Structure 1
Amino acid sequence: MVQVKMEEKRETKIVLTEPLSIRDSDASYKAPNLMQRILSLFKNVRPGSDLTRFQLPPLFNLPKSQLQCYGESVYCTASDLLSKCNNGESPVDRLISVVAWCISTTRPVTFGVAPYNPILGETHHVSKGNLNVLLEQISHHPPVTALHATDEKENIEMIWCQRPDPKFNGTSVEAKVYGKRQLKLLNHGETYEMNCPHLLLKIFPVIGADWAGKVTIRCLETSLVAELSYKSNSSFLGIGGNHRVIKGKILDSSSLKVLYEVDGHWDRTVKLKDTNNGQARVIYDAKEVMSDLQTPILKDTEGVWQTESAHVWGELSQAILSKDWEKAREAKLKVEERQRELMTERESKGETWISKHFVVSNDKEGWQCSPIHKTVLDAPIIAL
């Protein structure tokens, strides 16, 4: 059962929904007549097409924004993996904990439905314990998202800047995610840089969704590196196979010596084997980390920004949850038309949109973002 919490604010609903968890996504989020509708959706899309401007009808939308999905991957966990990262006694211990935390940001994807494409300047601001998380959509075309999170008690900071690039390949959609994520353990003077896997949506011969690709986690101050590979070893017809596999290694890049081997399933357990003595242990248990995730609560209605995802899309989210598709279509159209009006107004005045929370640049190395403020303030939305 999907939990929904709503408040009225300036004639617009603020809708908070149950976070996506490690279990297969709730049936309420699945579009009816799935295969038939998907084929009709892509019948006029050519292979190789860029899907960043592709607009899904509300029937294919999750009742939440992509910003909320990114945020949930950081603040929706049942155990505090970030504290474990900070409390590791040695650089190797800390890297192992960072690997476990990185895996925890991977969540199952429901094929056939997708979150809303965030509007320019949209934000998502949530607190979980001492961790305050802020996301902002810093570009609409192409879609680029920035994240800043701080935990002053643990002295931890996160900075992300990433750009999904979905393309239709005829029998599948592959969404490569460009950009980097940084996790800073300031007490130890360590910065860990990492990328994230790509999303693969298969349409033929059997529909399905999974994460794939290589993830590298590198500590900039040491020579320690973790190399992870996400893959789904399914048969041609999708029957059997080994799904949601993760394999990899932790090595000292200065000597190229492999210290540990990583093996398991990111939606179940992941083990670490010491290459010196062959001893193995579980470093990540998805059931433990992702159990009993609760819908966030609204602590301060007046403190919610007009740009907050739950505010911007509140009317649409409620219509989707109520399966009122006509109202959903109208609500989505209202948001889109308002964005076109604002863009036209800026162009007529010769104005350029500027991020409120990040210094943004786009150069040969790609999109870069730097938080304007040193720390993220407490949020009016609280994750439980």
Structure 2
Amino acid sequence: MDHRARLVIVGAGFAGASLVRNLPAALRRPGATLLIDRAERHPFIPLVHEVVSGRVHPESLLSPLEPLCRGRCGFLRAEVEGVDLERHTLHTSDGRSIGYETLVLTPGSVPAAPPGHLEGHVRTFWSLEDALWLRDELARRWEDARRGGAVPPSVAIVGGGATGVELAAEVASLFSHLRRLVGRKPDPLPKVHLIEGEHRLLGWLSPYFHSVAVEELQRMGVEVRLGHFVDEADPEGVRAGGEKIPAPVKIWTAGVEASPLVRALPGEHDGMGRVRVSGNLTLPHHPEVYVLGDSALCEAPNHGTLPPTASVAVQQGPYVARDLGRRQRRIKRPPFRFFDRGYVVGLGPGNAVAEALGIRMRGPAAQALYRSILLYYMRSREGRLLTLSDWTLDPVLGRLGFSSSSA
């Protein structure tokens, strides 16, 4: 055994970070609690689509883990590759074995891979690295078009969940911005195609989100294709619904899966690979192991199966902190209760759609709520200031990574 801690937390995402911030006093010290994550700086994933359009600098979204851990827990930069539940041991990518008394698994999710016949032609979109790749790809193609008179390429986005909708709106706003720089309307216009296999966008939210998203995306020039599955893809585009769609840039946003670490755990798993947990968010036959966030298949009274969202994860972390304290004091442990504060989805600069505490909003008011929520959940004061500066200076400085010279 290379290291042992009373409490080991795997993953510093929304659930893991909120747990660390709320640790009970007996566990709030480096010798008692250990946080393991594969990175020393954590990206704020809900805003990576704004990196694509150059409205937010990537450094603004990176928060170091050291301030989070200082005075609260130890930190080990490593990938956890396996869990030995019988020996209470974790196996890490650097060969070390980590022992635990209590384990909290919140490794997050990974993008669902496209079908085999599409691999090599579409790129998944989930991480900051994906956002930087897409920004650079669009910037390169824009520069080629600006110099040679060609038209910037159309983009096909496959998947109409929150990621796909927000990315489609952001790329459409970018194309509009670039067309204004040129001062003329290229022919043909570059397009954004949003392709969804079901007959509505944002299917896990109320129909209000779908209707507003379709209306606003179409107003921005996005071609929304519902009830279409992508059958083929090649360097020039995709085929969906029997129609060839020219789009040299193809992005896959059709769902997420639990991490391989969680999919390997014993127990009941759903189609995403999430493992079912008890009312206290623990594995049914291993009460010393909690599973949170995108990894947990969790049922909540009056809500059913909870979705893999940040709004769920940020409530689970503090709950586990309280539950750990109750276990130490040997007092009654009520089950996790989810409070539905509502949801908000961004629709490009100055626009969003929201339903919060029974109130529906769209447009600038929803965008103000959207930004305030995101700033609140960012980890560092520096990150909030930098992101707010990015938003404020966007109309003045233009889009990061894209030439402001006209063709």
* Higher fraction of strand: 1
Q: TM-score, normalised by structure 2?
A: 0.23
Q: TM-score, normalised by structure 1?
A: 0.25
Rg (Cα) greater in structure? 2
* Higher fraction of helix: 2
